Amino acid sequence: MSLTVCFLTRNEAGTIERAIRSVLPVADQVIVADTGSADGTAEAAARAGATVVSFTWGDDFAAGRNFTLRHASGEWVLWMQANEELLPASHDALRACLGSVDAFGFFVRVRNVADPSRPEQAAETADLRLFRRPADGQDLFVGRLHPHFRPEVVSAVAARGQPVLRSDVVLRADVDRGAPAESKLRFNARLLELELHDRPGQLHYLIEYARVLRLLKDDPDAQAKARATLAEAAAVVAQHRHAPSPPSFKVQVLLNDILAGSDSGAGAGANPSPGPLSYDDARDLALRWFPSSPNLLWTVAEQSFKRHDYAGAAEVLQRLLHLGRTGTYDRSHRFDPRVLGEDALLNLGACYLQRGRLDEAEACFVQLATSPLRGRQANELLGTVQNRRKNAENRGVK
């Protein structure tokens, strides 16, 4: 089975060659659709061995993807970003996927590395990046920003009984943990507004639009639009509150926002709970719909602790540690991997400490005593445990 690897680029000269060279051992064709780079991206891609085509940008990433696919000849397509590389250890796994008879596509593991000096702290997400190219040349994608498979395509795949499977194919992505630049936020907000104008009422895009607007913190108009958009999205979610599964995986972002904004100890800048979903509603839906979401569970634990519900916080932190040990966490959104390890363990110890369960608190802190990241805090808390024991002994408490 033949494979085409596709990229859509703009000013990616610093990383595109590495990305292309990482797939040359397994790719029959590499297509780079460049949207008008001014830094030599097209020349670098051609030098690395790709076929470069020009795409006239029209504020539509889905259109760019569909254009790129029309130049592909492989039976299978692997979609990549210019800041990613295919790990050599994944070559055999990729070839095995290409030999699948029944599958439409495969979820690829994306290892997001924010600090190259600490690759073990990378967080993995999963994305449908490897899929069959349609023989009839139909457009697969829709969505001006964060494009996704067209509903008709999803329905047709389901009707044919073609599964989408998980794989051991791993892409390494270098990501910036810093806050996005205002120019990028405004670019994203503009595309999201256009998307909602084209196809109104899409829950996924309503939530994402509100999220981006909220990041424009110094813009009062953006904040007002964000509140209105959040309320609209919350009203949609409220209609599904008794359903066994969420109407969109993006709902976890909305629930996270409601939980964080409902902080009882927050100041005047706190975000009010939008629409008909209260803090308790959001907590219930978070635990029921997204029991393995690291970001959302971390927020539930954090807010439970702030509300002095130390038993509830401890229960969620234990779940996070279990997900980290077993690798069974949700990979649909990026997250800080420390919430599945050292940060969860440190805060679990703090919960035990608040409840007076000193032996269990001590066991948590001892495990972290030599940690480069959390060792100082753990040792300080060990000192607190010892002081409480001494005070109890002085009062004659056994």
Q: What is the pLDDT of residue 262?
A: 63
The per-residue pLDDT for 392 is 82
Structural domains in the chain, sorted by start: 3-174 (3.90.550.10)
Q: Contact, 277 vs 238, CB < 8 A?
A: yes
Give me the pLDDT at residue 397, please.
Answer: 54
Q: Which helix (H) or strand (E) holds 53?
A: strand 51-54
Q: Name the token pair of 31.
A: 């297509």
Rounded Cα distance between 226 and 210, Å, is 4
- Positive or negative: CA dihedral 387, 388, 389, 395: positive
The candidate with the shortest Cα–Cα distance to 127, out of 115, 144, 112, 145, is 112
Residue 10: both structure tokens together: 């703009």
> CA 372, CA 376: separation in Å to the nearest integer?
8
What pLDDT is recorded for position 123? Answer: 80
Contact yes or no for 65/140 (Cβ under 8 A)? yes
Residues recorded for the chain: 398
Beta bridge partners of 124: 111
- To 10 degrees, the CA torsion angle through 133, 137, 143, 146? 30
In the three-class reduction of DSSP (H, G, I as helix; E, B as strand; rest coil), residue 111 is classed as strand
The per-residue pLDDT for 275 is 63
HSE value, Cβ hemisphere, 13 Å, CA-based, for 166: 9
Per-residue pLDDT of the chain (398 residues; tens, 9 = 90+): 899 999 999 999 999 999 999 999 999 999 999 999 999 999 999 999 999 999 999 999 999 999 999 999 999 999 999 999 999 999 999 999 999 999 999 999 999 988 777 776 678 899 999 999 988 889 999 999 999 999 999 999 999 999 999 999 999 998 876 778 999 999 999 999 999 999 999 999 999 999 999 999 999 999 999 999 999 999 999 999 999 999 999 999 999 989 988 654 443 334 445 568 899 999 999 999 999 999 999 999 999 999 999 999 999 999 999 999 999 999 888 888 899 999 999 999 999 999 999 999 999 999 999 999 999 999 999 999 999 999 888 876 54
d(CA 381, CA 342): 14
Predicted pLDDT at 120: 66
The rounded distance, in Å, linking the Cα atoms of 94 and 108 is: 9
Q: Please report, in angstroms and rounded to a whole number, the separation of the first and last CA atoms in the chain.
A: 71
76-79 and 3-9 as β-strands: parallel, antiparallel, unpaired?
A: parallel
Side-chain half-sphere CA neighbours of 272 within 13 A: 10
pLDDT given at position 276: 82
Cα 29–chain centre separation: 29
What are all long-range contacts of 180-184, with beta carbons under 8 Å and residues at least 24 apart? 180/215, 182/216
